[in-house]
């Protein structure tokens, strides 16, 4: 099998899809020639097969990244910034192809995939601007010494990205890491490798030196080779909390490499009776059904103050039933399929568990009767806090709704979780908004909005939702540099 194939998209357009491993600026076959199939979740049909990286391939990628590091990491930072800006321009130039690949491989609607591409370009351009603004410091410790602190790149970084936002999560990872001067071995999710491989071609086209960014495809064992590799100095992982624990153990057992983890969530979305109800309904709908519910910070636990509970429930039901499900290439579609059969089956098992546990289905609660991995937007009411559908991350278009009375009560309910990734607060009282936001134990609190990201705002979790932050200043200075103290005794 060749390393670049001609592929026809569902909209009839053709393009050249890389399927090889991207090592040292070339698409190459895996050492053992193994491949695996990649499917379109809307049709349940295979798109292509891609080469699967084994341990020897990861070693080659690390070799390439190590060879590139000294010149890249300690060379002209302005060059790094210019290349990142050029890459952002290329992503925009190829935006329609990239969005179409994302829709075909992940299942997300084309209209939303276009937004992902633009956000990816914005993120990379933002960090291009950071490349020559990583400053150290000078410290006065008294006469007779000159002290300075440098911020230096870490070295070869391993990065493992998820399948729900393939291109955007790649941008979140490579933007700050490359700007800071690190080199990368990145593993895509096994179900959604295609947009990252296409973007790799653009990396080469704009002139990134060989070995600076290497991309490998594969399953969990490929990620294991990266997280346990003795010559990789840092691992950044986005995915489930269970897998995050495994990554952390591997990192500790190998060379104590630095770790950042962006993991799962079961985020509360709190609706007070003084909110603008119609706006709160819109943001609740976006909070849970955006991206087919496959969002780590999805507002999957909605708490509504008792006086507006029935009104809110009725309005959210009506709004959810207006969401257009179907072909991702239809411009009117809001919700596409789940990304894989595995995820579909997981969601349906949670729905079944909720029904058996006595929760009331307000709408949805079943698979859509059509080709593809589609699930109706689902709302559960009459839930109790000990139910699995309330406690565990479902990662699909399923929400639970609970009533509350007082501020203290809902803060306790919101914090009754092992997670702590995000939360929403809907109120027209700014004092209440700030008070509640400050008392919820989560990394991001949205007030009168939801799933509202920006590349300058740090994102990450408390508790079992992760370690470290992505985006913002923290996403580069804390995640991808290390400090070096130099203390010079002066002869005076």
| Residue numbers annotated as active site | 262, 296
CA distance 356 to 359: 8
Q: How far is Cα 455 from Cα 251, in angstroms, rounded to an integer?
A: 27
Residue 314 contacts by C-beta under 8 Å, 6 or more apart in sequence? none
User: What are the DSSP calls for 322-386, one per residue?
Assistant: HSPBS-TTSTT-SB---S-HHHHHHHHHHHHHHHHTT-EEEE--SB-SSSSS-B--EEEES--TT
For the record, the structure tokens of 59 come out as 């070693």
Beta-strand ranges (E) seen in 41-125 are 45-51
CB 88 within 8 A of CB 56: no
Q: What span, in angstroms and rounded, lies between the C-alpha atoms of 203 and 212?
A: 10
What is d(CA 196, CA 104) in angstroms, rounded to the nearest whole number?
A: 13
> What is the maximum alpha-carbon separation in the chain?
83
Cβ atoms < 10 Å from Cβ of 332: 9
Burial classification of residue 33, based on how many CB atoms lie within 10 Å of its CB (0-12 exposed, 13-18 middle, 19 or more buried): exposed
* Residue 63 φ/ψ, nearest 5 degrees: -55, -50
Element spanning 319, H or E: helix 309-322
The helix/strand/coil state of 438 is: helix
User: Among all chains, which residue has been given the structure tokens 């990554």?
Assistant: 247
3-class DSSP assignment, residue 411: helix
Per-position b or e across 401-426, b if 16+ CB within 10 A of its CB: bbbbeebeebbebbbebebbbbbbbb
Alpha-carbon distances of 212 from 22, 162, 176, 185, rounded to whole Å: 11, 21, 13, 9
């Amino acid at each position: 099998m060749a390393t670049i194939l001609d592929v026809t998209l569902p909209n009839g357009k053709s393009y050249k899809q890389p399927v090889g491993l991207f090592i040292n600026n070339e698409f190459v076959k895996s050492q053992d020639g193994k491949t695996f199939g990649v499917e379109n979740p809307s049709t349940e049909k295979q798109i292509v097969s891609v080469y699967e990286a084994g341990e020897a391939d990861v070693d080659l990628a690390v070799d390439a990244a190590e060879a590139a590091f000294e010149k890249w990491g300690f060379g002209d930072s302005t060059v790094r910034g210019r290349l990142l800006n050029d890459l952002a321009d290329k992503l925009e130039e190829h935006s329609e192809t990239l969005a179409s690949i994302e829709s075909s491989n992940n299942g997300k609607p084309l209209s939303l995939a276009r937004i992902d591409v633009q956000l990816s370009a914005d993120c990379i351009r933002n960090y291009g601007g950071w490349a020559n603004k990583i400053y150290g410091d000078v410290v006065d410790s008294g006469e007779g010494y000159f002290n300075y602190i440098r911020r230096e790149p870490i070295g070869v970084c391993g990065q493992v990205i998820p399948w729900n936002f393939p291109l955007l999560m790649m941008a979140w990872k490579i933007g700050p890491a490359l700007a800071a001067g690190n080199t990368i071995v990145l593993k895509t999710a096994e179900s959604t490798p295609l947009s990252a491989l296409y973007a790799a071609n653009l990396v080469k086209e704009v002139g990134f030196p060989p070995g600076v960014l290497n991309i490998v495809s594969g399953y969990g064992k490929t990620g294991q080779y990266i997280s346990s590799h003795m010559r990789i100095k840092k691992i950044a992982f986005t995915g489930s909390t269970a897998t995050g624990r495994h990554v952390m153990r591997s990192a500790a057992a190998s060379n104590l490499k630095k770790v950042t983890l962006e993991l799962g969530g079961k985020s509360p979305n709190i609706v007070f009776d003084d909110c603008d109800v119609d706006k709160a309904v819109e943001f609740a709908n976006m909070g849970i059904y955006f991206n087919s519910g496959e969002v780590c910070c999805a507002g999957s636990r909605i708490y509504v103050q008792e006086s507006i509970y029935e009104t809110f429930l009725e309005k959210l039901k009506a709004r959810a039933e207006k969401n257009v499900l179907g072909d991702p290439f239809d411009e009117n579609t809001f919700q596409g399929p789940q990304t894989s059969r595995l995820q579909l089956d997981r969601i349906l098992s949670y729905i079944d568990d909720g029904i058996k546990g006595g929760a009331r289905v307000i709408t949805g609660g079943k698979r859509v009767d059509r080709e593809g991995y589609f699930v109706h937007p689902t709302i559960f009411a009459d839930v109790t806090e000990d139910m699995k559908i309330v406690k565990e991350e479902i990662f699909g278009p399923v929400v639970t709704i609970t009533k509350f009375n007082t501020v203290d009560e809902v803060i306790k309910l919101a914090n009754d979780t092992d997670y702590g990734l995000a939360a929403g607060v809907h109120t027209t009282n700014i004092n209440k908004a700030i008070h509640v936001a400050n008392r919820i134990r989560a990394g991001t609190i949205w007030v009168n909005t939801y799933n509202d990201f920006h590349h300058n705002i740090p994102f990450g979790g408390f508790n079992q939702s992760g370690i470290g932050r992505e985006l913002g200043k923290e996403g580069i200075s804390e995640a991808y540099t290390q400090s070096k103290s130099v203390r010079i005794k002066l002869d005076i």
